[in-house]
Amino acid sequence: MSDEVRIIEMGPRDGLQNEKIPVSVEARIDFVEALVAAGLTTVEVGAFVSPKAIPQMASSDAVLRGVAHLTGAEFHVLVPNEKGYDAARAAGAKVVSVFAAASEGFSRANINCTVAESIERFKPVLARARDDGVKVRGYISCVLGCPFDGEIKPKAVADLANTLWDLGCYEISLGDTIGVGTPTKAKEMLRAVAANVPAARLAMHFHDTYGQALANLYAGLEEGVSVIDAAAGGLGGCPYAPGATGNVATEDVVYMLEGMGVRTGVDMEKLLAATNGMSGVLGKAPVSRVASALNAKKKRAVS
């Protein structure tokens, strides 16, 4: 297990894109600034997708430009195709992410095409990014289960990860999109993927629907994976999975890792302030157990 873990902050994109009410550009920029101030120096800030499909991600170009002044941080944006890539590059993107699903059912429901068709859509993106010197991160959804197809075989995930790796993705993020995985299954999946893609180039993107995310992350850390996707306050969810909660909360991940002596570089007090700021914008309390506990502790101290 590594003594240092890199956390990729998902809140401004994967977290906010599931909120019913879109958050203003100004509030999104403030959120990113607060997260970077907390030590989260890799943040996914938006998605260059159709505003009709995901209105919450409209004006991602303005958000990306609005955080460009922050030094020492790397900002990622999601792009589904060449049109999205063009818009991202025009806004100054230096790192983009592409996505595919390990299940045919989810791919059809989410982006209305087969897995093979989704790969064909972003092949030109990877080719152009290589020529432009732009880094590309690859996401795979439903690596531990699908709301339509049920159980997903580790080989299906491994084959898709190998395809993304061969196409030029520098890192592959493995998503338990509906949060159904358990530690043993997580290990089996990661071992299958690591047979072709180095563990150092893998990331874990686990949702916490069944309360298994931290346990699954721990299992993955034991397998040598040292990159974790998380969202401040546990923001997020999956519209195709009834009852699915958000990403594993960044506060919960930091608390576990720092308690184990694993460095994250994140200041919990500043992270909590960032989470509370966005919670105020959204008008609801954070899902994070750690954030809830620390907020309650602060409230008791004041009273």
Average pLDDT over residues 63-73: 97
DSSP state at residue 151: -
Residues 21-55 pLDDT 10s = 899 999 999 999 999 999 999 999 999 999 998 99
Percent of the chain surpassing pLDDT 70: 97
Q: Name the residue among 283, 243, 236 with its Cα closest to residue 11.
A: 236
The confidence score (pLDDT) of residue 238 equals 66
Q: By the 8 A CB rule, do 240 and 282 touch?
A: no
Residues 244-255 pLDDT 10s = 678 999 999 999
Average pLDDT over residues 257-286: 97
Instruction: Write the CB contacts of 155 (distance below 8 Å, at least 6 apart in sequence).
Output: 192
The confidence score (pLDDT) of residue 276 equals 98
**Is the model's pLDDT at 240 over the cut of 80?**
no
pTM of the full structure: 0.95
Measured CA to CA, the distance from residue 259 to residue 56 in angstroms comes to 35
Compute the radius of gyration of the chain from its Cα atoms: 18
Measured CA to CA, the distance from residue 90 to residue 282 in angstroms comes to 30
- Average pLDDT of the residues of the chain: 94
The confidence score (pLDDT) of residue 243 equals 62
Active site residues: 238
Q: Which tokens go with 298?
A: 């602060």
**Is the model's pLDDT at 241 over the cut of 70?**
no
Residues 104-138 pLDDT 10s = 988 888 788 898 999 999 999 999 999 999 999 99
φ, ψ of residue 207 to 5 degrees: the values are -85, 165
Residues 194-222 pLDDT 10s = 999 999 999 999 999 999 999 999 999 99
